[in-house]
Amino acid sequence: MFDIIGICALVLALWGLQKFYNRAVIKSVLRNLPGPSNPSFIVGNLKQLWNADAFPFHQEIADMGSAVKVHGFFGDEQLYLTDPRALHHVLVKDQEIFEVSANNLEISRLLWGNGLVASLGEQHRRQRKMLNPLFSPAHLRTLVPVFITIAEQLRDALTRHISGSDNEIDVLEWCSKAALEYIGIGGLGYSFETLKEGANNAYSNSAKNLLPAVFPIAPLSILLPYITAVISPDFGRKLVDVLPFPTLRNVKNIVDMIDETSRMIYEQRKQTILRGDGEEYDQVANGKDIMTTLLRANLASDEKDRLPDDQMFGQMNLLIFAAYDTTSSALARILHLLSDNQSVQDELRHEIKEMHIQLGDVTPSYDQLNSLPLLDSVIRETLRLYAPVPFVLRTACKDVVIPLRTPTIGIDGTIIHDLPIRKNQGIFVGITMANRNSAIWGPDAAEWKPHRWLKPLPHSVTDARIPGVYSNQLTFIGGSRACIGFKFSELEMKAVLYMLMHNFKFEPSKSEIIWKFGTVMAPSVKGSPEESTPRLPMKITVI
């Protein structure tokens, strides 16, 4: 993490001075909140919060209360929120005050260009309006046959690969390949051909390594607005090539590779549509993929409403990333949990087999895939307890007061009911920790119990009014910046599990698996030389 501190020291020092000055002027309102001790004036708690083994630290923070103070660079005080009412204000009610933090926008823009995540206000609304219909149930319905076909390709690829002696394979690798194919075909109308025999997986391998490579240096992104203000992108890229910072160079190479591929796909799509020769693009997802629809709508709309190429292109890069790492992480987690609990796996297989028997060779419909109660519960429970994206960041862009549902006890013993927030206040939206709140979910909140979804939820859940778009949880957050693709993701997981549960049995491997904390959670083998490489070995047998 610190290999680039050298070059940034000066900028950092200036930034620190400015921050220090602000702090002296604005008396922090957070001072009275409980929180972990500050181990370092320079980096605060950032090292504890942003590392692959940070999960217990986040848990520790959440146990201190529903609104906790943590420290950033140079004594900067940030807020770690798990309180549902406060988060309702941050994500929904006062969303325009709590924007995605400027550093995040900057990272997003550097990595992916001008996509949805990198836009604010009116531009965001416009982009979102154009994309929304493509994620509606009506549109997803039309994708079901393609989704099932990809699941069949995954089944066939797995069957080919487990013919070896001990049947142990890296399940994450296959979940990643499948997820890339899903967003490729369902989202971009382009097949990465990850599931074909002898496929070239340079793209998926690069893509898989991007977020783990960026995560540990992400806090340094507070420098980005300063760096991009003084250094042009072209010069910056050249600089990264000659500077002795392998982490940065690695990120740049991955980004370049992804960028090149995306440009190629984008140009290809656009040309076919402009030429109007339907056949070529109809063969992939019958021209019903998100990007083709978006391109067509964009080309057909008035000049003034049209999204420029760079925005269209940004959407594409962003979609790949938002969809791919997250869903493969979720799928891998589900298979991991099912391998640890054979009784739930058997029960789920039974439920799914009944439908296979009933349908024979017929592809299940959207409604049929959504009519399997245990399948639905397994997905809900896994996403609740193990949110693939454990937290997101927001920054207040003006002063505002937000209420707490659960009052918290200040250091001086007073009870705090409301939080006065200052402009520029940084906020951690504690997704996973909010999902595990035992005051809401009961004493078994931290246990994986799919069956809790088969009975009516306790009043404590419904009363809490959790501001999430999905299933009383924050996994896809809520409000106008909620995950646009949660139904896409859910459908994808259902199609894959429908196919895999029917054909295979999943059992744990001999290796001990740990899940690394990050922008997106990722499994790896404990104690192995390549512990930092995401992997999930598992034993698979054909039924």
Q: Which does 344 bind (CB under 5 to 8 A by kind): ligand HEM, ligand NAG, none?
A: ligand NAG
341 touches ligand NAG by CB under 6 A: yes
- Which residues, 6+ apart, have CB-to-CB distance to 463 below 8 Å? none
Measuring CA to CA, which residue among 543, 528, 497, 541 is closest to residue 169? Answer: 541
What is the per-residue DSSP string for 363-406? PPPHHHHTT-HHHHHHHHHHHHHT-SS--EEEEESS-EEEEEEE
Give the gyration radius of the chain's Cα atoms.
23
CB of 138 to ligand HEM, least distance (A): 16
User: Tokens standing for 464?
Assistant: 């809490």
Instruction: Rank residues 210 and 322 by Cβ distance to ligand HEM and give the closer one.
Output: 322
Instruction: Rank residues 296 and 449 by Cβ distance to ligand NAG and give the closer one.
Output: 449
**What is the C-alpha to C-alpha distance for residues 249 and 261, in angstroms, rounded to an integer?**
19
Instruction: Rank residues 111 and 117 by Cβ distance to ligand HEM and give the closer one.
Output: 117
Binding range to ligand NAG, per CB under 6 A, among 24-32, 338-346, 492-500, 535-543:
338-346
Q: Are the CB atoms for 384 and 337 separated by under 8 Å? A: no
Judged by the rule CB under 6 A, the positions of this chain that interact with ligand HEM are 100, 116-117, 128, 183, 187, 318-319, 322-323, 326-327, 330, 388-389, 392, 475-477, 481, 483-485, 488-489
**What is the C-alpha to C-alpha distance for residues 523 and 519, in angstroms, rounded to an integer?**
13
User: Under rule CB under 6 A, which residues in 260-299 are in contact with ligand NAG?
Assistant: none
Burial (CB < 10 A; 0-12, 13-18, 19+), residue 32, is middle
Q: Are the CB atoms for 79 and 419 separated by under 8 Å? A: yes
Instruction: Rank residues 341 and 406 by Cβ distance to ligand NAG and give the closer one.
Output: 341
Cβ-closest position to ligand NAG: 341
CA distances from 244 to 150, 185, 212, 367, 395 (A): 42, 39, 20, 55, 32
User: Under rule CB under 6 A, which residues in 434-453 are in contact with ligand NAG?
Assistant: 449, 451
Q: Is the dihedral of CA 362, 366, 368, 374 positive or negative?
A: positive
Site string (448-487) toward ligand NAG, x via CB under 6 A? -x-x------------------------------------
CB of 340 to ligand NAG, least distance (A): 6
CB of 451 to ligand NAG, least distance (A): 5
Q: Which helix (H) or strand (E) holds 172?
A: helix 171-182
User: Tokens standing for 48?
Assistant: 């504890």
CB of 384 to ligand NAG, least distance (A): 13
Place of tokens 């957050």: 477
507 touches ligand NAG by CB under 6 A: no
Instruction: Rank residues 347 and 399 by Cβ distance to ligand NAG and give the closer one.
Output: 347
Q: Are the CB atoms for 508 and 515 separated by under 8 Å? A: no
CB of 246 to ligand NAG, least distance (A): 42
Instruction: Rank residues 151 and 330 by Cβ distance to ligand HEM and give the closer one.
Output: 330
Q: What SS3 state is found at 156?
A: helix
- For the stretch 168-201, what's the b/e string if a residue is b when 16 or more beta carbons lie within 10 angstroms of its beta carbon? bbbbbbbbbbbbbbbbbbbbbbbbbbbbeeeeeb
Q: Which does 117 bind (CB under 5 to 8 A by kind): ligand NAG, ligand HEM, none?
A: ligand HEM
DSSP conformation class of 473:
B
Q: Where does 123-176 show beta strands of DSSP type E? A: 168-170
Q: Which does 343 bind (CB under 5 to 8 A by kind): ligand HEM, ligand NAG, none?
A: ligand NAG
Q: Where does 130-254 show beta strands of DSSP type E? A: 168-170
Instruction: Rank residues 68 and 374 by Cβ distance to ligand NAG and give the closer one.
Output: 374
CB of 354 to ligand HEM, least distance (A): 26
Measuring CA to CA, which residue among 395, 61, 89 is closest to residue 221? Answer: 395
Q: Which does 449 bind (CB under 5 to 8 A by kind): ligand HEM, ligand NAG, none?
A: ligand NAG
483 annotated as ligand-binding = yes
Q: Which does 327 bind (CB under 5 to 8 A by kind): ligand HEM, ligand NAG, none?
A: ligand HEM
343 touches ligand NAG by CB under 6 A: yes
Q: Which does 187 bind (CB under 5 to 8 A by kind): ligand HEM, ligand NAG, none?
A: ligand HEM
Q: Which does 341 bind (CB under 5 to 8 A by kind): ligand HEM, ligand NAG, none?
A: ligand NAG
Instruction: Rank residues 340 and 531 by Cβ distance to ligand NAG and give the closer one.
Output: 340
User: ∠ at Cα 57 (444, 434), nearest 5°?
Assistant: 45
Instruction: Rank residues 325 and 381 by Cβ distance to ligand NAG and give the closer one.
Output: 381
Cβ-closest position to ligand HEM: 485
Instruction: Rank residues 155 and 481 by Cβ distance to ligand HEM and give the closer one.
Output: 481
CB of 416 to ligand NAG, least distance (A): 37
- Binding-site residues for heme sit at 483
- Name the residues that contact ligand NAG, by CB under 6 A: 341, 343-344, 449, 451
